[in-house]
Amino acid sequence: RCGHTQGGAARDRTRLASLSAEGRSSATTVLVASALRWMHGDQSGLEQFTRKLLGFTDNRQDAALQAGHFNDFLFVSLVRAGFLGALQAAGERGLRSDEIGAAQQKALGFDRPTPEVRAEWLQEPSLKGFNLQEAESTLRQILAYRVWYDQRRGWRYTNPNLEQLGLVRVEYQGIEALAADQEEFENAHPLLKHATPEVRVNLYRELLDHLRKWMAIKSQVLDSTVLEQIVARSHSRIRTPWGFGNDEKPRGSRWMMVAAPKRKESSLRDMDLIVRGGSRSALGKTLRESRLWNGDGAIRNVKSKEFDALIGDMLRAAAAHGLVSEENTPFDQPGWRLNDAAVLFRLGEPEPGVRSSTENAFFRDLYGNLAAMLDAQVHPLFGFEAREHTAQVDGERRAVREKRFRYGEKEREELTAEDKRLREIGEANRFLPVLFCSPTMELGVDISALNVVHMRNVPPTPANYAQRSGRAGRSGQAALVLTYSSSQSPHDQYFFRDPRAMVHGEVKAPLLDLANRDLVDSHLQAVWLSCVEEPLDPSIAELLVLTDPGRPLIETLVTAMREERVARSAVERIRRVLDLVAEDLTLEMAPWYTGRDTYADSIAATALDRFSRAFDRWRDLFAAAEEQRDAARRTMDDYAAPYQEKRAAQVRHAQAIDQLNLLQRGTSSLSSDFYTYRYLATEGFLPGYNFPRLPLMAYVPATMDGRGRQTYLQRPRFLALSEFGPRSLVYHEGRAYRVVRALLSLGQRDAATPDVQLPTKSVRICTECGAGHFDDQASMCHACGASLGTAEIVNHVYRIENVATQPAERITANDEERQRLGFERQTTFEWAVRDHDIDVRNGTASDKDGEIVRLAYGPGATITRLNKGLRRRADKKTLGFKIDPVSGYWAKNEDEDDNQDPTASPRQWIVPSVQDRKNALLFTPLDDSLTETSIATLQHALLRGIEAVFQLE
């Protein structure tokens, strides 16, 4: 119906993306950009600095992804709109390759000498003379590069480029003369020799388009040597994103080869330099289509070698006319490139009444409207910018972004005064119209004069909706609240069909389980700490003796905590607190509770030891960083070490120093993960309702451009097992970081010797109920009594506490959802044992026909979750991942070809795991006929029911 055909070898994802892919990031970006454009219109009546929008999402990394997506989408759209404007200005004459940079510069308005315009693309807007001329020359080269790069085939899935929309027409100068030159084809393949000039023109258009769209182009701005020079000048002169960022790696020109090396014999990096042009390539399949040969089907009977010779004949004839060039390559085979001087760009003119299979009215209008806005002397487009505001962002940056978002007179003065510091941390001092936030923004950050709120997904509960939507309209004005309902989310679709249940839903009081032992203990330990009457230093490093290998508490603090008055006062206060919750601490609800006096004495007696052990995670992180620093130094000082190993050691040494500094710097902000009181809350020693308990941490290194500083990201450990899993991507501050290693302390591996092995465990999982048994002595399942003779055995189980990442790629408008590796995870449990008996309460659920479900409830059960490997792994019997037991580096996946540390030697298989204590209910249906699909449906129905009834996130 639409006239579009798919190649025979295309993947299902490619074929069906337009039907099943949702594009939530693009939808959010378009909605936000449209709202901003409306607010800047004459009809909005809004003052300049009230034209802003606050966006919410439930996941911190989604906030980072969305901010990066918005900025990249806008940047790419401006590049395309600029090129469209340049073509409109050029008229029928069109644009040659050597005119692209200057025409693009003029269309974007970057030739204007005003300070505001120069501040958009220049790092130093006050540049003059030769420095300014060099900067403008560099800008023109970069803009020309970006125009060529934007023509790449298939690199933008959801937002088509100008050529796909028919807004630009590409012509090849001299192609008709080449096709008519019979002399060049006298010795060519018979089919080519006897083809009409019209047939040859069609064939050459396909051939030259293939070269151009796969970047096999001979152009100065795509030459790898020249690109290196452009990148160096860009870093010192041009602001990102118009200039190249430090983490951006421009791709140079490729070579097309008719007889390319086999894929198995080449690395991924080598393959990136090669465009295949043989009979079996995409080009070969296209040239075999009879439609290009006036319906002559003889071309399909040409054998592969003969067809390769035909393509070679075409290339040699094109080289004789100067359209392509033959070059030597590092692969011992000649390569071909399209000469950029042969390319002419003209404004596209779609035929009236003819509907294209790639027609997209939205993007045609978007680029046209943006081009018209760029042509105006004054427009708001360069001010459109988004930033993330989550707990992943350090407190200083969050405070700056709040000032930029409010941007009142006071904030403008403060930002102007802080201009030098803002440059150091990579923040601008101009108005910020868009903030994408995680739910932390609900907690009371003052945002005034806000008119629009956007939610990237339907919030979990009406209470969340009320909090987020209530950010707008606080000054008494009307406000707009946009909520995007994901088609892939049953939760979103449920409330899309019944929006009143969310918008006007009942906000229920939060539920607290006052019989939860961890909750009670953390509050009682807070009471004990207050009785010490000794203020804790904000920096953890000041509380420990760092010169002692064990890092014990400093003596003055221990002495203060051991005073007799502390225990006496704490016991008295703790008893009063326990009296307040006595109704909940019954034998039925809290079997762990030993009575008011006994329990108060126990808390006071063990509090000091628990307080010290709460810093074990910090000690492990510090020891791991020290070990990384010392190991790197040994390699750096080893005269026999290869150059590559020394360079890698220098990087590891610098990162280790950064980690040590970060761990010791707890005073910079109350929101620092290592601010003493916040840290104690995350470790469960103190109450911490807003922080994940016992989280898994991921170290993110600083970026080369200074925009991103080193930090630790936290996630609840059960989520982090997959989100921070081996080789997975973590999104933060406009970049994606790859998890490359587990942070191991010396205590976990005993010694840093080459033959060391990490201490692992084995678990037997009951096939009847799923209970786990780490004890080799048991022969019967402790939960259901079944024999463990047929239990599933998982070996090499290793507990992961912290991981480290390295920069992987920029977030672009292609990233609709976070890239996630599909891990096979399994959850198992162990009931708690109290007074030598298993602490579990059994029950049943019945209907009129009898019992249908068996229930077992265990307070404080130990839950273990295992990561058994990638779902797509070839050998399902091999569980886990390979790791270097000395450095902690994970083995890279087969489809990766990144810069792995040359000293890493992943050789030990482990199954990563995390563990925590939680109240658990084992739900066992008694109907043996239920299939695995039925059980999964029942499980999800129970989960959604609990979330809906109790309004849980």
Q: Which two tokens stand for residue 521?
A: 């203990």
DSSP string for 139-205 = HHHHHHHHHHHTT-TT--SSS--TTTTTSEEEEETTHHHHHH-GGGGTTS-HHHHT--HHHHHHHHH
Integer Cα distance of 712 and 658 in angstroms: 11
Contact (Cβ atoms closer than 8 angstroms) between residue 69 and residue 29: yes
Confidence band for 621, pLDDT divided at 50, 70 and 90: confident
3 state DSSP class of 715: strand
CA 466 to chain centre: 28
Closest alpha carbon to 632 in 612, 611, 646, 616: 646
- 689: CB partners within 8 A, 6+ apart: none
CA 909 to chain centre: 27
In single-letter form, the type of residue at position 389 comes to: H
Query: Hunting for tokens 């070490």 — which residue is that?
Result: 641
Nearest to 737 by CA among 750, 749, 727: 727
Q: Looking at residue 899, what is its pLDDT?
A: 53
Pair 844, 851: CB distance under 8 Å: yes
Query: How are beta strands 95-96 and 343-347 bridged, if at all?
Result: antiparallel
For residue 494, give the nearest of 944, 28, 939 by alpha carbon.
944
Least confidently predicted of 534-543, 771-780, 812-821, 936-945: 812-821
Other beta carbons within 10 angstroms of residue 337's beta carbon come to 22
The percentage of the chain sitting over the pLDDT mark of 90, rounded to a whole number, equals: 50
Least confident of 164-173, 553-562, 735-744: 735-744
| Gap between the Cα atoms of 758 and 744, Å rounded | 9
Mean pLDDT across the stretch 55-72?
A: 90
Amino acid letter, residue 575:
R
**What are the φ/ψ torsions at residue 13 (nearest 5 degrees)?**
-60, -40
Task: Give the whole-number percent of the chain exceeding pLDDT 70.
Answer: 90
Query: What's the pLDDT at 745?
Result: 64
**3-class DSSP state of 238:** strand
How large is the C-alpha radius of gyration of the chain?
32
> What's the order of all strands across the beta sheet hosting 343-347?
95-96, 343-347, 168-172
Burial class (CB in 10 A: 0-12, 13-18, 19+), 154: exposed
Q: What are 641's two structure tokens?
A: 């070490």
Residue 759 has pLDDT above 60, yes or no: yes
Residues 42 and 58: their CA atoms lie apart, in Å, by: 34
pLDDT in tens, 686-702: 987 666 677 888 988 87
Instruction: Tell me the C-alpha to C-alpha distance, in Å, between residue 812 and each of 31, 68, 120, 809.
Output: 17, 6, 20, 9
826: left (phi over 0), alpha (psi -120 to 50) or beta: beta
**What DSSP element (H or E) covers 830?**
strand 823-830
Angle subtended at Cα 511 by Cα 510 and Cα 516, rounded to the nearest 5 degrees: 140
CA–CA separation, 29 vs 902, rounded Å?
A: 40
446 pLDDT tier (thresholds 50, 70, 90): low
The whole-angstrom separation of Cα 305 and Cα 258 is: 10
Task: For 1-60, write each residue's pLDDT tens digit.
Answer: 455 555 555 555 555 555 555 788 989 999 999 999 889 887 878 888 889 999 999 888
Which residues have C-beta within 8 Å of that of residue 314, sequence separation ≥ 6? 188, 192, 203, 204, 207
**450 pLDDT higher than 50:** yes
Candidate ranges 45-49, 140-144, 332-336; pick with highest mean pLDDT:
140-144
Pairing of strands 53-56, 274-276: unpaired
pLDDT bracket for residue 823 (50, 70, 90): very high
Mean pLDDT of all residues in 735-745: 88
pLDDT at 443: 47
The counts of H helices and E strands in the chain are 30, 28
Q: Which residue has the tokens 């296209």?
A: 286
Residues sharing a CB contact under 8 Å with residue 315, sequence separation 6 or more, in sequence order: 207, 258, 324, 326, 336
Predicted confidence at residue 672, as pLDDT, reads 58
pLDDT at 454: 93
pLDDT at 813: 77
Please give the average per-residue pLDDT across 533-541, as a whole number. Answer: 89
Q: Residue 894 has what pLDDT?
A: 66
Unique residue bearing structure tokens 């480290």: 804
What pLDDT band is residue 670 in, cutting at 50, 70 and 90? very low
Burial class of residue 510, CB neighbours in 10 A (0-12, 13-18, 19+): exposed
Using the predicted structure, report yes or no on whether residue 671 has a pLDDT greater than 50: no
More confident residue, 891 or 648: 891
Distance CA 421, CA 429 (A): 10
d(CA 302, CA 287): 11
Token pair, residue 272, equals 């990136």
Q: Most confidently modeled of 164-168, 358-362, 815-819?
A: 164-168
As beta bridge partners, residue 862 has: 830, 917
Q: Is residue 936 predicted with pLDDT exceeding 80?
A: yes
Report which DSSP code applies to 668. S
Give dist(CA 814, CA 159) in Å, integer.
8
Residue 630 corresponds to which tokens in the numbers above?
């010392």
Question: Is the pLDDT higher at 251 or at 438?
Answer: 251
- The neighbour count for residue 920, using CB atoms within 10 Å, is 20
With both helix axes pointing from N to C terminus, report the angle between 395-406 and 409-417 in degrees, rounded to the nearest 10: 130
Q: Which two tokens stand for residue 636?
A: 């750096």
As annotated, the residues of the chain forming the CATH 3.40.50.300 domain(s) are 386-503
Mean pLDDT for all residues in the chain: 86
CA gap 657, 648 in Å, rounded: 14
Q: Strand 95-96 relative to strand 335-339: parallel, antiparallel, unpaired?
A: unpaired
Helix ranges restricted to H, 727-849: 746-749
Q: Which two tokens stand for residue 131?
A: 């420095």
Of 248 and 611, more confident: 611
Assess whether pLDDT exceeds 80 at residue 247.
Answer: no
d(C-alpha 414, C-alpha 411), whole Å:
5
pLDDT at 644 over 90: no
CA distances from 33 to 37, 65, 387, 437 (A): 6, 16, 14, 17
Helices (H), 705-758: 717-723, 746-749
Residue 911 pLDDT > 60, yes or no? yes
pLDDT tens per residue, range 359-374: 688 899 999 999 999 9
Phi and psi of 113, rounded to 5°?
-85, 10
**Alpha carbons 782 and 861: distance in angstroms, whole number:** 12
Whole-number Å distance between alpha carbons of 3 and 98? 36
pLDDT of residue 295: 86
pLDDT band with cut points at 50, 70 and 90 for residue 949: confident
Class of 386-503 in CATH? alpha beta
Q: Given this model, what pLDDT does residue 404 score?
A: 92
> pLDDT tens across 146-159, in order?
999 999 876 566 78
Q: How far apart are CA 593 and CA 610, in angstroms?
A: 18
Whether residue 487 has pLDDT greater than 90: no
- Look-up: residue for tokens 């399209």? 338
For residues 841 and 856, the answer to whether their CB atoms sit within 8 Å is yes
C-beta separation of 769 from 922 below 8 A = yes
Q: Which residue do the tokens 């024999």 mark?
A: 787
Better-scored residue on pLDDT, 143 or 703: 143
- Number of other residues whose CB lies within 10 A of the CB of residue 50: 17
Contact between 89 and 103 (Cβ < 8 Å):
yes
Distance of CA 22 to the CA centre of its chain: 18
Is 24 in contact with 30 (CB distance < 8 Å)?
no
Alpha helices in 665-774 (DSSP H): 676-682, 717-723, 746-749
CB atoms within 10 A of CB 582: 10
Strand partners, 917: 862
Any idea which of 518-532, 734-748, 827-841 has the lowest mean pLDDT? 734-748
Provide the 10 A C-beta neighbour count for residue 595.
11
